[in-house]
Amino acid sequence: MNVLIHLFPVENVKKELAETKELLEQSRAELYYLRLGVIDLQMSVYRTEIDVQVEQLRNDIAALQERNAQREQLVTDGLARDAEGEKSNFKFLKATEIFQKLSKSSVEFKNSCSPPLSSF
């Protein structure tokens, strides 16, 4: 009878040990899948952060391109104004030159038409 009493608890312990071992393996598998889920979530967060940074960089690039286009337009307008100014300046100088020639011609003409003062 003693032998049966000793065998019964040992069999129960072996059975509980096997069940515990099986639960432990299941828990390890679940933990593994949970870790994979956490890693997947982390990767998703990183991808989202990267997407946000990429979008911000695109916006920054677009703003820089817009500013560059505005600067180029200002430079183009400035060069056009400079060219107009040079044309205007050239026209003024040409007109001044013509006026001086006419003045000189007018003085020469006046001098040739009027009798010298000594003749009076």
- Judge whether 108 lies within some domain: no
- Say how far apart CA 72 and CA 63 lie, in whole Å: 14
- Residue at 62 is within a domain: yes
1-12: buried (b, 16+ CB within 10 Å) or exposed (e) per residue? eeeeeeeeeeee
Could you identify the residue written with the tokens 């997947």? 40
Tell me whether residue 71 is in a domain. yes
Q: Is the pTM of this model over 0.85?
A: no
Helix (H) / strand (E) containing 87: helix 2-113
What total of structural domains would you count in the chain? 1
Q: What is the pLDDT along the chain (120 residues), one digit of tens a residue?
A: 455 555 567 777 888 899 999 999 999 999 999 999 999 999 999 999 999 999 999 999 999 999 999 988 888 887 777 767 677 777 777 778 887 877 777 667 666 666 555 555
Asked whether residue 34 is domain-assigned, the answer is yes
Rounded CA-CA distance 59/55 in Å is 6
Show the tokens assigned to 93.
Answer: 């100088």
Report pLDDT for 97: 81
> Measured between alpha carbons, how far is 103 from 112 in angstroms, rounded to an integer?
14
Which DSSP category does 119 fall into? Answer: G
Identify the residue whose tokens are 């390890």: 28
Q: Is 116 within a domain? A: no
C-alpha count within 13 angstroms, C-beta hemisphere, residue 107:
5
For 95, the domain range is 2-101
Instruction: Decide if 90 is inside a domain.
Output: yes
Q: What pLDDT is attached to residue 110?
A: 64
Asked, for residue 83, whether it belongs to a domain, the answer is yes
